[in-house]
Amino acid sequence: MNYQASPNRYNTMRYNRCGQSGLLLPAFSLGLWHNFGEIDNYENGRSIIRKAFDAGITHFDLANNYGPPPGSAETTFGKMLKSDLASHRDEIIVSTKAGWQMWEGPYGDHGSKKYLMASLDQSLMRMGLDYVDIFYHHRPDPDTPLEETMGTLDLMVRQGKALYVGISSYNAEETRQALRVLKELGTPCLIHQPRYSMFDRWIEDGLLEVLGDEGVGCIVFSPLEQGLLTNKYLKGIPKVSRAASGRGNGALEADQITAEKLNLVAQLNAIAAERGQSLAQMALCWVKRDPRVTSVLLGVSRPEQLEDSLSALENPGFGEEELLRIEEVLAGRG
């Protein structure tokens, strides 16, 4: 049966301006880091993509090495784009990245012009696209001159292979330097993609301030710590879960689920219940409480998880007392 997009898809999603640009991004975007590889169920992933677009999620985030195996998430998305969303291409923001190892030899990793240009060409081929909307350098590379890496991002825009560029996982000072180089080149940095959650708050130590001062957007990944900030693991590790999958590629591992973390999760879960939310919903609301966070990347393994996450739009705010209680829990004083 041919897919027909919901005519009501723009009714409930909120869209936020990305920094000082003209681009609006949905409050929630869909990340394809996991669950869209060659080893995953194609029709399940297709259902997630369809449900996301029907809910007003217009931004789909990938990277060259997403899978497994690396590259297969882009191939999968390309097939889904062609079969279901081709007529909606101008309603969609597609991003990809490069910066981690993708192929063997000295030219398949890091931040050289050789690697980044080849990687983007391969990504476009896998997805069947002429351009991506956003291309990121996936991580800082101390061994390549920043001018070379940022100059390559500028070249991608000038060649029409990317409309905007961004960076990911750069710290505050690295970000400030990258923004300066890009601004001098005439291709300003649109957005930064850092990891951020209740359990991983490094961006509060200067990065958010830099992004706010410079007018750069921020889209955060792993807001649920890959499922740890849900009630999924409170009674043990389910057989069907990311932690039990052993899929690699940066996925949550069983040994990361400690008794100390589960104690915090249980206390946070109780606060969420008082708010009338699931823990996942509260954790999503928490990361987007800061107006400098433009969008939050959702990573889901089932359409039902996506529905639960989207419900966070219905109760976004926190009272001062709620925030204080959460801080007490996270500080180990709950």
Boundaries of every domain in the chain: 15-225+287-301
| Single pTM value for the model | 0.93
Amino acid at 188: P
pLDDT attached to residue 254: 65
Q: CA–CA distance from 264 to each of 35, 218, 243, 325, 334 (Å)?
A: 27, 27, 18, 12, 8
Average pLDDT value for the chain: 94
pLDDT in tens, 52-86: 999 999 999 999 999 999 999 999 999 999 999 99
* Closest to 127 measured CA to CA, from 88, 66, 77, 84: 77
pLDDT attached to residue 259: 83
pLDDT attached to residue 239: 54
Residue 219 to residue 251: CA distance in whole angstroms = 19
Q: Report whether pLDDT(248) > 70.
A: no
pLDDT attached to residue 264: 93
Q: Are strands 28-31 and 24-26 parallel, antiparallel or unpaired?
A: unpaired
pLDDT level of residue 332 (50, 70, 90 thresholds):
confident
Residue 107 to residue 102: CA distance in whole angstroms = 9
Helix axes 279-287, 259-274, angle to 10 degrees: 90
Top-level class of domain 15-225+287-301: alpha beta
